[in-house]
Chain A
Amino acid sequence: MALLETRNLTARYGDFQALFGVDIVLEAGETISIIGANGAGKTTLMRSICGLLANQPDSIRFDGRAIGRLAADEIMAMGIAMVPEGRKLFASLSVEENLLVGRYGRAIAGHWSLETVYGLFPILKERRHSPATALSGGQQQMVAIGRALMSNPRVLLCDEISLGLAPVVIRDIYRAVPEIKAAGASLIVVEQDIGQALRVADRVYCMMEGRVTLSGTPAEFSREAIHDAYFGAAA
């Protein structure tokens, strides 16, 4: 049985339908990437899984349970943590408080604690008393990842963690992935950067206009196939 699975997932914003029957599977221990152009529905998929958007109960299953209708705080408590698009740090909290609030709904013992997060991103320890929004973009992204890790999640959702960052910074951030996996989390990584997505993932899903248009292991993907799945065959 898959750890996390969507089946014929649809999502809408009012009258606008953003997802049309999306099926993805995440096995325990696996890392999958979701790629796709702007507006493909990647963030909508993440928001559906983490409970910010309500869906058909049965269209999302986690650990055998139907979670499509659960609220975000209940899903978080079950062990699905999210690094949201645009980081969404709490401006009135310091770096350390942002990390601490990350375990509010799920304060369980595990690999991740303040010390291990600071071990992963040492710069955060130096800046721990600064307001979180006073940090550079890359450092803020580290806080957002650390905040999600503080709950020792079983599934970590990362929505465009490399957006707007310099290549060296992106490399620094992705260096954290092996330790995150070793601590027992399975990952769903949304990426615009296809090269990065192919490097990090065991399997890749490509989305276009609310549908999965291509899926498989990075080795199976040709440039042309990705291009077609990304922009449509006619492009």
Chain B
Amino acid sequence: MIWFDTILQGVLLGGLYALFAAGLSLVFGVMRLVNLAHGDFIVAAAYLILLMVTMTGMSPFLAVLIAAPAMFAFGWALQTFMLNRVIGDDVLPPLLVTFGLSVVLQNVLLESFSADSQRLPSGPISTASLNLGGINLGVMPLLTFGSAVVVIIALNQIFYRTALGRAFRATSDDPSTASLMGIRPAGIFAIATGIAFVIVTIAALYLGMRSSFDPNIGPARLIYAFEAVIIGGLGSFWGTLAGGVIIGVAQTLGSAVNPEWQILAGHVAFLLVLLVRPRGLFPRAVD
């Protein structure tokens, strides 16, 4: 029973990693771009929410609703004015540019907010739990996991049920033929990054409410996100959720054995999956 409980906690933790990863998965799926500053943008969004909360006293949940459209606009602009200029056949320039962004962002956050740990106030919800058949589940982890599932469902709906989603997939297949359909690839990329930044904002909410954060934790979030995307298989949103869950379960199992093994166990699980399934668990058929 104790193992079952541990695994369940791991599954719920996986929801957080899936939220870290979903935006990365979307952007990679549409334009084959890995944004190395992804984790830092999550941290930056957490500070933005913190700022709104401390200045107005509003609830973090309300702050996310207000921040999300602004973050969409920011992502759109970042793609339009910066990343679209560097993506192309060569994969190196976007990596260099987003790596630079990561460094700059960490320093700006450090200058503005100091290296002190911060936390989003979450009120009584952070300690509330539900008792389901003898197992205690925290409301916050449940909420995180539920949000991750909603985000994944929403992404799948957009991707597979709308004209925008068809344009995403067509552009990903072949941008120049997509332009013959009246699709402007640069505009499609900007919308994809905008959506990714909305998810970044949601991820930031749970990051900030569940644990403390400081300007330097971005790169580690990027790595969890990256591992979740790769485990799941490039281009599959449900795969990304599964990837997050696998890392989450591995981490809680690892820390149950020895608390120092938590992080390591996640990385080992990542390597094991890659050994068995180099293309991840649910790779998209065409690539």
The contact size tier of chain B is 20 to 34
State the CA gap A52–B170 with chains docked (Å): 16
Does A72 make an interface contact (CB < 8 A)?
yes
Interface bits B153-182 vs A (CB < 8 Å: 1, else 0): 000000000010011011011101111111
**A90: which of B174, B179, B184, B284 is its contact (CB, 8 Å)?**
B174
Residues of A within 8 A of B (CB): 50-52, 71-73, 76-77, 81-82, 84, 88, 90-93, 97, 100-106, 131, 133, 147, 151
The interface centre, meaning the residue of B169, B173, B176, B179 with most chain A CB atoms within 10 A of its CB, is B179
Residues of B within 8 A of A (CB): 163, 166-167, 169-170, 172-174, 176-184, 284-286
State the CA gap A139–B182 with chains docked (Å): 23
A155 to chain B, nearest CB (A): 13
**A82: which of B163, B166, B180 is its contact (CB, 8 Å)?**
B180
Residues on A with C-beta less than 8 A from B182 are 73, 76-77, 103-106, 151
State the CA gap A104–B163 with chains docked (Å): 7
**A92: which of B163, B179, B183, B286 is its contact (CB, 8 Å)?**
B286
Are A90 and B173 in contact, CB atoms less than 8 angstroms apart?
yes
Given contacts A90-B173, A90-B177, contact A100 B183 (CB under 8 A): no
State the CA gap A226–B125 with chains docked (Å): 82
Are A50 and B180 in contact, CB atoms less than 8 angstroms apart?
yes
State the CA gap A71–B170 with chains docked (Å): 17
Residues on B with C-beta less than 8 A from A103 are 181-182
Residues on B with C-beta less than 8 A from A147 are 181
CB-defined A-B contacts under 8 Å, sample of 9? A73-B184, A90-B173, A90-B174, A91-B286, A92-B284, A93-B170, A97-B166, A104-B167, A104-B182
Are B181 and A104 in contact, CB atoms less than 8 angstroms apart?
yes
Number of A-B contacts (CB under 8 A): 77
State the CA gap A93–B174 with chains docked (Å): 12
Are B166 and A101 in contact, CB atoms less than 8 angstroms apart?
yes
**B167: which of A50, A51, A101 is its contact (CB, 8 Å)?**
A101
Residues on A with C-beta less than 8 A from B166 are 93, 97, 100-101, 104
Residues on B with C-beta less than 8 A from A88 are 174, 177, 180
Q: List the B residue with the shortest CB-CB distance to A86.
A: B177
Are A90 and B170 in contact, CB atoms less than 8 angstroms apart?
yes
**B172: which of A52, A92, A106, A133 is its contact (CB, 8 Å)?**
A92
State the CA gap A50–B286 with chains docked (Å): 27
State the CA gap A184–B231 with chains docked (Å): 51
State the CA gap A90–B179 with chains docked (Å): 12
Residues on B with C-beta less than 8 A from A82 are 180
Are A76 and B180 in contact, CB atoms less than 8 angstroms apart?
yes
State the CA gap A107–B261 with chains docked (Å): 56
Are B179 and A51 in contact, CB atoms less than 8 angstroms apart?
yes
Residues on B with C-beta less than 8 A from A101 are 163, 166-167, 170, 178, 181, 183
State the CA gap A133–B286 with chains docked (Å): 10
The 7 closest A-B pairs by CB, nearest first: A105-B182, A72-B179, A76-B182, A88-B177, A91-B286, A101-B166, A90-B173
Residues on A with C-beta less than 8 A from B284 are 92
Given contacts A92-B286, A104-B163, A104-B181, contact A72 B176 (CB under 8 A): yes
**A84: which of B169, B170, B173, B180 is its contact (CB, 8 Å)?**
B180
State the CA gap A88–B174 with chains docked (Å): 8
Q: List the A residue with the shortest CB-CB distance to B171.
A: A90
State the CA gap A81–B167 with chains docked (Å): 17
Residues on A with C-beta less than 8 A from B183 are 73, 101, 104-105
State the CA gap A92–B166 with chains docked (Å): 9
Residues on B with C-beta less than 8 A from A72 are 176, 179-180
A52 to chain B, nearest CB (A): 6
State the CA gap A81–B177 with chains docked (Å): 11
State the CA gap A140–B270 with chains docked (Å): 40
Are A92 and B169 in contact, CB atoms less than 8 angstroms apart?
yes
Residues on A with C-beta less than 8 A from B169 are 90, 92-93, 97
Are A92 and B180 in contact, CB atoms less than 8 angstroms apart?
no
Q: List the B residue with the shortest CB-CB distance to A133.
A: B286
Are A102 and B177 in contact, CB atoms less than 8 angstroms apart?
no
Q: List the B residue with the shortest CB-CB distance to A78.
A: B182
State the CA gap A77–B180 with chains docked (Å): 9
State the CA gap A73–B176 with chains docked (Å): 10
Are B173 and A81 in contact, CB atoms less than 8 angstroms apart?
no
Q: List the B residue with the shortest CB-CB distance to A50.
A: B180
